[in-house]
Structure 1
Amino acid sequence: MTQARIIQPVIDLLRHPDGPRDRQLLFGDTVTVLDDQNGWSKISASKDGYTGWVATDHLGPIEPQTHWIVAASTHAYEKPDIKSRDLTSLSFGSKIRALSEEGGFLETPIGFIPGVHAVPAYSLLTDPVTAAELFLGTPYLWGGNSRFGLDCSGLVQLALLACGVPCPGDSGDQEREVGGSVPEGDPARRGDLLFWKGHVAWVAAENLLLHANAYHMAVALEPMDQAIARIAAQGDGPVTAHKRL
């Protein structure tokens, strides 16, 4: 087994070679390579242990990462100049290696990235809901883990990992492993998580949820009582857990 890192902005983690997407990985994510077959690599993601298949040419050698992207998304430019050509785009959570700093930009092997969009690799955020709120309006994408598309568990995971809280990739595992159960009758408060079978949402405020959902096809705010009634009416059942970090 060898270590590697993702060298594309966003890649799909597939159930089998050339198969359906289960989750996504971001630029700079580290992985353990478990197997190689005909241009495909079976990997285990360092951030959550999720396993799947990726194209082998999307992997590169491990290298020190000095910063991570803290803006919802950013661009890497050809020069330290906002009017220069943009070379690629990166999502929140991507990890980069800064070679130098010039004119408010971080020089990296993939281009110049605005310094205000990155923080040192050791830095953590303090409020996962504030992190999740960055993604309001992001389109819904089953298995999505980036600014370019998110599902419910992807929104929860990226916000918790940004705050240094371990978090698996799927909502069922999140329900079992994240936080503690809130006593029945205890009112929901900001930062709590509500779970349904196959769905999870942040509590953003009293009677207000923040979640990536297929009804809005986006990350959206929705009154809690309205969401609970709607989800039950569409046949997906009641809330199965109320968890608190």
Structure 2
Amino acid sequence: MAGQLFAPHYARPTVRACGLSPRLLRSGPSDSAPAVSELLPGEEFAVVDVTAGWAWGYCRADHRVGYVEAIELVAPFEATHVVIEASAPVEAGADLLSPTLTGLPMGSRLSGEVQGALLRIEAGFVPLSYLRRVGHYEEDPVAAAQRLLGVPYRQGGRTIQGVDGPGLIQLALRQCGTPAPREADLQTALGEPVPDGATLRRGDLVFCAGAPGLMVDDQLVIHITPDTGKVSIEPLRCLPSEGLQRRRLA
């Protein structure tokens, strides 16, 4: 996993955070370098080095290593809320006629003051119905994944602009308080193997040809691959069965 995961004893990093807009984490210091992941608003990023305007380091949540434009990073803060919907609107004011300024993707971490049915953040107001408090988790990762149905495939993506297979699984599990690696091969170590002959159930992880998915029930799986092109629900029997791995979370 050299170049993908960071061993934090190598250097003393400077902790920063992703600003209001998500930013792709790239394999090199260039906009043309392949995306390896995506930083979500409020996620902390440990900066080890800065060269020509690009910060090299790792996402503190999953230790995914990469480059991000240093100008897009802000001072870290203590989050109070997390976005649970596919996208949460940031409104200019507290009244119903206020325009929407931007949207924040699922998993964004916010800090603000509750004012009625809204969370007031520095950039505007976010309806509380789109949020959960930090430390308050959902119980069903499948329900979280289903909110992203139809989102297109994008290598390294983790937002409604595009998501990849491991990103979908990571987002869904984190909403339920389950830390998950960013890479599919590491996700195969989550939970325990489903015993041979046992029926799959909602929330089980399956890996078809290395691509991860979540079982919706004993027959259907929600997943995304370059072939599907978008987050979809399909019968498991329609996917390649060779090398199928089945994992069950506690």
**TM > 0.5:** yes
Match of 1:233 in 2: none
Matched with 2:147 is 134
Match of 2:101 in 1: 87
1:239 aligns with 2:231: no
SS at match of 1:130: helix
Partner of residue 199, structure 1: 211
CA distance in 2, matches of 1:216, 1:22: 20
Residue aligning to 1:232: none
Map Cα deviations across residues 103-140 of structure 1 (whole Å, 9 max, x no partner): x2211011111111111112111111111111111111
Q: Distance in 2 between matches of 1:2 and 1:31?
A: 8
Counterpart in the other structure of 2:135: 122
Aligned residues of 1:194 and 1:239 also touching (Cα < 8 A): no
Worse-superposed segment, 123-132 or 193-202 = 193-202
Counterpart residue number, 1:101: 115
SS at match of 1:214: coil
Structure 2 residue matching 1:64: 3-state secondary structure = coil
C-alpha distance in 1, partners of 2:190/2:150?
Answer: 25
Structure with bigger strand share is 1
State the aligned residue count.
Answer: 235
2:185 and 2:96 mapped to 1: Cα distance?
A: 42
Task: Give 2:8's aligned residue.
Answer: none
Q: Secondary structure at the match of 2:216?
A: strand
Look up the SS of the partner of 1:173 in the other structure.
helix
Residue 10 of structure 1, CA deviation = 1.3
**1:197 offset after TM fit, Å?**
3.4
Aligned to 1:185: 197
Cα deviation 1:87-107 (Å, max 9, x = unaligned): 2110111011113414x2211
User: Which amino acid letter does the alignment assign opposite residue 109 of structure 1?
Assistant: E
Long gaps (5+) in structure 2: 1-12
- CA displacement at 1:161 relative to structure 2: 1.2
The C-alpha deviation readout for 1:18-73, integer Å capped at 9, x for no partner, is 11101111000012111111100012111111110000011000112111111221
Match of 1:234 in 2: none
Candidates 35, 41, 48, aligned match of 1:34: 48
The one-letter code of the counterpart of 1:138 is V
TM-score normalised by the chain length of structure 2: 0.90
2:10 corresponds in structure 1 to none
1:57 aligned partner: 71
Residue type at the aligned position of 1:173? L
Q: How much is the aligned-residue C-alpha RMSD, in angstroms?
A: 1.4
Aligned equivalents of 1:58, 1:197: Cα separation in 2? 36
SS at match of 1:228: coil
Map of 1:170 onto structure 2: 183
Could you list the runs of 4 or more consecutive aligned residues of structure 1 that deviate by over 6 angstroms after TM superposition?
none
